[in-house]
């Protein structure tokens, strides 16, 4: 199932997204090296992948043999240089901080083979800027998976200013081979996904702040009226309100247009530590 010339993939960061990316790559028949800072994090990541594969077995989507073969294709590594030494493709999924991505990409550039494609799963940082910290900007690209990775079909494939056609074609082809639907977009703040989604979420928060309706009512209007599977406030809670605020700040700063200004109520919730599902409380209450 794997793409012609990509056999070995290194995934940098074994958190929410990294373990999902390792899961789908290994399930697609690729050899995966999952890299993170500590052995404990990596052990938890592999346990998560195992649990998610077990769920697929229970739903009869894969066999037990598929699960075992998938797990056998994943190895873990805390030494980043060793982890990427054999990689044809590296997918980075470390936290969303521009200076961290720049440091990681300079290091990947130094240690990954010269032919390797370096991809980032960033939701909002410029691919062009990330590419500038390497000596191979033509081989740097965005591979923006959606959460949860094994379930969601979309891969937003982002071309930086210097990304070449061959790199783009190989990433598109690989994404299809993994059973995903890749969509090619250019590198502008928020790409397409967050450029369109975040203003809608922000507007829902303004509507709440102005007392237009209660959270449940706002979400129900968008679910039943617009056929969205989830209301915008519930979706914001799922994504994390801090993440939403970060992405809106990027859109506001980089596009320089006040229509992207984050709603003061969103800032207030984040300041209070009401971050959505992960903290038990956001626009909705998740305690119990």
Q: Give the residues lining the site for ligand NAI (CB under 6 A).
A: 12-18, 35-37, 41, 80, 93-96, 104, 121-123, 147, 239
Beta-strand runs (E) in the chain:
8-12, 31-35, 74-77, 89-92, 117-120, 140-145, 154-159, 181-186
The reply to whether 123 belongs to the active site is yes
Q: Look up 284 and say whether it is catalytic.
A: no
Closest by Cα among 85, 65, 68, 71 to 9: 85
| Beta carbon of residue 4, minimum distance to ligand NAI (angstroms, whole number) | 27
* 3-state SS track over 226-259: HCCCCCHHHHHHHHCHHHHHHHHHHHHHHHCCHH
Among the listed residues 166, 165, 164, 168, the one whose alpha carbon sits nearest the alpha carbon of residue 156: 168
Q: Is there a contact between 133 and 105 (Cβ–Cβ < 8 Å)?
A: yes
Catalytic, out of 77, 121, 124, 144:
144
Q: How far apart are CB 94 and ligand NAI at their closest, in Å?
A: 4
Nearer to ligand NAI (CB atom), residue 94 or residue 208: 94
Round the CA-based radius of gyration of the chain to a whole number and report it.
Answer: 19
Q: Shortest distance, CB of residue 244 to ligand NAI, whole angstroms?
A: 11
- Residue among 80 and 281 whose Cβ is closer to ligand NAI: 80
Catalytic residue among 23, 92, 121, 156, which? 156
Catalytic choice (3, 120, 121, 194): 194
- What count of other Cβ atoms lies within 10 Å of the Cβ of residue 25? 27
Residue of this chain nearest to ligand NAI (CB atom):
15
Residue 243 CB, nearest distance to ligand NAI (Å)?
A: 7
Q: Which is nearer to ligand NAI, 67 or 80 (CB)?
A: 80
Q: Which of residues 13 and 150 has its CB atom nearest to ligand NAI in the complex? A: 13
Q: Give the nearest distance from C-beta 50 to ligand NAI in angstroms.
A: 17
Helices 232-239, 193-209: crossing angle, 10 deg rounding: 120
Q: Given the complex with ligand NAI, which of 17 and 207 has the nearer CB atom?
A: 17
- Residues identified as active-site: 123, 144, 156, 194
């Amino acid at each position: 199932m794997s793409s012609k010339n990509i056999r070995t993939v290194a995934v940098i960061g074994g958190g929410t997204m990294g373990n999902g990316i390792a899961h789908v790559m290994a399930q697609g028949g690729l050899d995966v090296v999952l890299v993170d800072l500590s052995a404990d994090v990596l052990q938890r990541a592999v346990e998560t992948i195992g649990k998610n594969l077990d769920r697929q077995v229970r739903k009869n989507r894969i066999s037990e043999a598929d699960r075992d073969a998938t797990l056998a294709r994943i190895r873990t590594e805390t030494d980043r240089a060793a982890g990427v030494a054999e990689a044809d493709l590296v997918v980075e999924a470390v936290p969303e901080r521009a200076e961290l991505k720049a440091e990681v990409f300079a290091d990947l550039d130094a240690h990954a083979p010269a032919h390797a494609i370096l991809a980032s799963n960033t939701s909002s940082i410029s691919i062009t800027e990330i590419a500038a910290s390497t000596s191979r900007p033509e081989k740097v690209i965005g591979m923006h998976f959606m959460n949860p990775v094994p379930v969601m079909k979309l891969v937003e494939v982002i071309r930086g200013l210097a990304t070449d056609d061959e790199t783009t074609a190989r990433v598109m082809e690989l994404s299809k081979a993994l059973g995903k639907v890749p969509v090619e977009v250019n590198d502008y703040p928020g790409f397409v996904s967050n450029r369109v989604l975040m203003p809608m979420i922000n507007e829902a928060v303004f509507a709440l702040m102005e007392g237009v309706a209660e959270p449940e009512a706002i979400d129900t209007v968008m679910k039943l009226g617009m056929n969205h599977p989830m209301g915008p406030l519930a979706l914001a809670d799922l994504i994390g309100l801090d993440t939403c605020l970060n992405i809106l700040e990027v859109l506001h700063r980089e596009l320089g247009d006040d229509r992207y200004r984050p709603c003061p109520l969103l800032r207030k919730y984040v300041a209070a530590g009401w971050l959505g599902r992960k903290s038990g409380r956001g626009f909705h209450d998740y305690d119990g």
